[in-house]
Every structure is written in structure tokens, then in C-alpha cells.
Amino acid sequence: MSLPFACPLCSIRLRVEEELAGNKVRCRGCSRVVIAPLLGDDPGFRIVQRGVDVDALRVLTPSTPRPKRKWGWGIGIGIVAIAFVVLGWYALFPGEALPPIVGDLPEGDAFFYRSSRGAEFLRSGSFPFDGAREVVTLNLGTRTLTVYGGEFSLAAISDGLKAREYLVLPESLFQHPREDETIWLSSSRIALGPRSLVEEFRNPKAPRFLHSLTVNQRRTLDRLPLGDLLYFEKATRENSILPVRIAGGSAGMGFALRLRSAEEGDFTMAIGGANDFESQRARSSLMELMGLLEEFRLESKPGVASALGRLSSLRLTWRSNEAAAIRSLNRLGTAQSDYRRAHGRFAHSLAELHQEGATDGGYRLRLNATDAGFVAWAVPAQARITGQFTFVTNETGLIYRKEIEGEPVTPWPADPLSDGWTRLGD
């Protein structure tokens, strides 16, 4: 028979054979060495190696005792060796214990954990279930699993799902009537997503996300402090959370935010590099965060490059809205090129281009055009509240930025660089 117990460091569920009760075992979740619990309530029970004849060992052991000073030296050397092993282990794996809800995740490509405070910081809205305190999202290819943690009233949530015409299935499962969305309820967890992922989450024998990490990926994850936001992906994909483009490597990438207040916190991003080339590229990529973080600094440890600083919700709003404004100007430039090919001139108004005057992120678009050329600019709807910079472009396709308190830019600057404008991409 096997003996179930929870890891005292990361709370992941473990199971060992009864013969290992009371012995040291390595946790498959956090990779730390823990002691398996004893069987029964007998505090004197211990497991020893079987098949060892103690009397025979006494015969084989020399009866002449070694000088005591040699034992002392041996013990001292042993203590030093153990200390080096322990320090070496924590140097390689210094990370804090992850939230238990993360340890429950099945195999996947990336996860994003948010506490209730972290969700408020991102302005992503309140959790849809009363009693939820945290949420983690798992991505596996094009499929997504969302798990909420907290204290839930099963009766109230069940009644709400039935009112929305969810189909009631056995084992606390509910199925959406028209979509591939299954919800599983318990008093402390709510999981929703495709039926296959929900079943993997419920199955204690299914492979877990943390178990599938390579040594290099685990080292990268352990560089991230536990906080209100925690994101990690095994290999770099298109980043849709932060308003910056970060190039990573094969050893994982992630970020964490530990809030000091509702408006700002300590931010860390780590990128793992499997070789010198990836490590150098990671450091260069992390420089993109300079405009997002205050008190920005870089750190490097073997195999991992990190950027640290202070992140405020205001700067995050600025950079997100500015990224949307840049996308809008690029779309407008493409639309003008298409319009000129079709009509032999540039469009004189946004209406001719079927472009909206407001971007999707707190900026206003303006256009001043003739048949032969145009100037388009994106201005913050509220200077230094919805955005920091004004952006301008023309028929060349180049985009420049400048902090001018949201003032309009009707004529094209004669010499943008001399006039204090910065060309994007430089």
C-alpha cells in the first residue's frame, strides 16, 4: 500500500510506499528533500534497512576504536561538506514555495497566476465567483484552463450554473450547453475549460506542469519571487500581457510582481539562456523594460538574466495605451498606401479611410492630408493620465514620439530629431 501526504514546503500532494514512512524523500513538485510521515500514531516507529544482520556487522567491524580526535575531524569535515551541499542547492534553486494552486496545474506551455490584489492592479475586473481569492490560467496550445482558489458556496454556484442552462453531470461537473466548456466545483477550487483539461486537473495521477520543467527552466522560475502576479512560459511565445516585446530562449521566461500598495510593486522578469548567445540576447531584450520600470537594473546569474524595478499601474497604463496608439498609426499608414493606389491620392480624412478617431487605448487620432502627403498623430486623451507621449507619422511610414503634453502636431516637423523627437526603433 502507498502512503499519501502533502509536501510541507509546496503543499503538492505526494504518495510513497509504506516502506518509506519516516524516511527522506524528494518532492516531485519543489524538488526539496522532506520527511515522509510515520505510519500510525507510534512516535517511536522508524524504518531501517531490511536484511542487515546487526550481529554480523559487529563481527566484521574492527574492535579497536579509532582515536577520538580522528572522529572529531571526520565529524567536522562531514558538517562542512553538508553545509556546502545545502548552500549549493539553494544557490541553484533559491525560489520560494509556489502557491499550491500552481502545483495542481496539469501539463501545459505557460501559466499566469493572479491574487485578487494582482487582478485589481491589472484592472481585469473582479472574479466571477464569490469567495475567490486567487486565479491561475494554464495555456496548452490553443486550449486554456482557468482555476480559481478560495472558499466557495457550492449550492449557490450550482444554482447559478443551472439558471444559465449548464448541464449537470456526475462528480460536481457542469457542461456548457453549446460550447466546449466544463466547470468542476469543490469547496476550495473551481476549474473551467475544455473537458479534457478539467479531467487532467482532477486526476491526481496526471502529469503536472512543474514536473515537466527542465533543470534550466526550473532555475529560471526560481528566480521569480512569490507575489501577487506570477507568469511563466517554458519557451517564448507572443507576449500579450506586458506592453513590450521580449525575446527569450529555450530555458523559460517569466515575471512576478509583489505589490507594495494598490498602485505599485516590486517587479522581476527573468529569462533563461541555455548558452552564451541566448543569455546575451536575453540581457538585450530586457532593456526594453527601461521605459516601463522605475529604478530599473539588470542582474545576471549562471543561465538566467533578470530585470528588476518598480512597476506602477500608471506606467503600465501609459505603455499599454501607447502600444495601441502605435498599432493604430501603423494601420492608418497602411490604409493610406492602399487608398493612394486605388484613387491616385491620399485620403483627406479618417472617414475616407474608415478609421476611428479614437484608438482602443486612451489616445485620439488626428489626420492632416493633401493629395501628395499626410501627417497623422496620436495624442493622449488625457495628458500624463492615459499616455505620456505624442506620436506622429507621415507617408514615409516612420513614427516619432515626443512628450509635449498632448499638443496637436499639424505640420510635419522639419527636422524631427533636432526638434527633440525620437524615432521608434532607434
Q: Where are the domains of the chain?
A: 1-53, 100-202, 321-423
φ/ψ of 31, rounded to 5, equals 65, 15
Whether 9 shows a pLDDT value over 90: the answer reads: no
Measured distance between the N- and C-terminal CA atoms of the chain, rounded to whole angstroms = 65
Per-residue confidence (pLDDT) for residue 72, from 0 to 100:
52
Q: In terms of residues, how long is the chain?
A: 426
pLDDT over 70 at 248, yes or no: no
Q: Residue 228 and residue 287: Cα distance in Å, rounded?
A: 23
As a whole number of angstroms, the distance between CA 38 and CA 49 comes to 16
Element (H, E) at 365: strand 363-369
For residue 393, what is the DSSP state?
Answer: E
Confidence at residue 174, expressed as pLDDT on a 0 to 100 scale = 97
Residue 66 pLDDT exceeds 50: no
DSSP tag of 415: S
Q: Is the pTM of this model over 0.75?
A: no
Long-range contact list for 141-145, CB < 8 A, 24+ apart?
141/109, 143/193, 143/194, 143/196, 143/197, 144/193, 144/197, 145/105, 145/106, 145/108, 145/191, 145/192, 145/193, 145/194, 145/197, 145/198, 145/201
Q: Give the pLDDT of residue 56.
A: 36
- pLDDT tens for each residue of 76-94: 555 545 444 444 444 444 4
- Report DSSP letters for 123-150, one per residue: T----SSTTEEEEEEEEETTEEEEEEEE
**pLDDT of 360 strictly over 70:** no
Report long-range pairs for 43-50 (Cβ below 8 Å, ≥24 apart).
45/21, 46/22, 47/19, 47/20, 47/21, 47/22, 47/23
Contact 399, 393 (CB under 8 A): yes
8-state DSSP, 34 = E
- Is the predicted pLDDT of residue 302 greater than 80, yes or no? yes
- How far is C-alpha 146 from the chain's CA centre? 14
Between 67 and 197, whose confidence is greater? 197
User: Does the structure show a pLDDT above 80 at 162?
Assistant: yes
Confidence at residue 77, expressed as pLDDT on a 0 to 100 scale: 55
Instruction: Please report which confidence band the pLDDT of residue 74 belongs to, taking 50, 70 and 90 as the band edges.
Output: low
pLDDT tier at 62, thresholds 50, 70, 90: very low
Report percent pLDDT > 70 for the chain.
Answer: 82
What is residue 36's predicted lDDT score, i.e. its pLDDT?
75
Q: Compute the chain's Rg from CA coordinates.
A: 29
pLDDT at 57 over 90: no
Mean pLDDT of the chain: 83
**Confidence grade of residue 185 (pLDDT, cut at 50, 70, 90):** very high
Provide the pLDDT for residue 53. Answer: 40
Residue type, 100: P
**Band of pLDDT at residue 220, cut at 50, 70 and 90:** very high
Residue 218 is predicted with a pLDDT of: 94
Is pLDDT at 243 greater than 80 in this prediction? Answer: no
The pLDDT, as a whole number, for residue 405 is 79
